[in-house]
């Protein structure tokens, strides 16, 4: 069992505040196009926590469906991206940059490396995974697919 650290965070305007036990060793990069678009940034840094342990101590994020299988939460006032989750999962990602003290976390892996922008974030020694190689993600897409289109 890994050590969990109680961490706090929130959005830029301060309306939404949260507290959650975080495993500082389990943060990661996501380079997928949907995260890039949703963040307006070249990649997202996340830490993964249990939904049951995440407490919003002020306000709550506004959620939107970024795809048929995923939802993202952001402050309804200032727009800071705060969360990413699959509704069928017991866990949720928090954006590392919204933590009050993100400096204690380090990335453990890269996800969605098929969309990595190597001029900005070059490869390093950390493990990498392409989106299509992550079986739970592909299973969710397969279940959601009804002959319609899939985001590129």
Match 């949720």 to its residue by tokens: 92
- Which residues, 6+ apart, have CB-to-CB distance to 105 below 8 Å? 22, 24, 27, 45, 47, 96, 99
**Binding piece for Zn ion, criterion CB under 5 A, among 50-58, 105-113, 121-129, 137-145:** 105-113
Spatial CB neighbours of 137, under 8 Å, sequence gap ≥ 6: 69, 131
Binding mask 122-151 for Zn ion (x = CB under 5 A): ------------------------------
Report the length, in residues, of the chain.
152
| 49 belongs to the binding site for Zn ion (CB under 5 A) | no
Q: How far is the CB of 68 from Zn ion (least distance, A)?
A: 15
Please state the closest distance from residue 69 (CB atom) to Zn ion, in A: 12
Query: Which span (19-27, 50-58, 74-82, 122-130) binds Zn ion, by CB under 5 A?
Result: 74-82
- Residue 30 engages Zn ion in binding (rule: CB under 5 A): yes
Residue 10: name the closest of 94, 91, 109 by CA.
94
Helix (H, G, I), strand (E, B) or coil at 2: coil
Q: Which residues contact 8 (CB under 8 A, 6 or more apart)?
A: 17, 18, 19, 57, 99, 100
Of 7, 20, 27, 32, the residue at the interface with Zn ion (CB under 5 A) is: 32
Using the rule CB under 5 A, is 75 a contact of Zn ion?
Answer: yes
- Contact residues toward Zn ion (CB under 5 A) are 11, 13, 15, 30, 32, 35, 75, 77-78, 112
């Amino acid at each position: 069992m890994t050590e969990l650290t109680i961490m706090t965070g929130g959005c830029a305007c301060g309306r939404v505040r949260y507290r959650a036990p975080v495993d500082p060793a389990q943060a990661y990069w996501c380079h997928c196009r949907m995260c890039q678009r949703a963040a307006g940034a070249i990649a997202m840094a996340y830490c993964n926590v249990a939904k049951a342990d995440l407490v919003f101590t002020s306000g709550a994020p506004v959620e939107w469906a970024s795809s048929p299988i995923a939802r993202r939460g952001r402050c309804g006032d200032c727009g800071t991206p705060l969360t990413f989750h699959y509704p069928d999962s017991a866990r949720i990602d928090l954006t590392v940059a919204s933590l009050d003290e993100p400096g204690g976390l380090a990335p453990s892996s890269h996800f969605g490396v098929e969309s990595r922008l190597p001029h900005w974030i070059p490869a390093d020694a950390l493990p990498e995974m392409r989106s299509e190689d992550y079986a739970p993600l592909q299973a969710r897409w397969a279940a959601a697919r009804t002959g319609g289109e899939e985001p590129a």
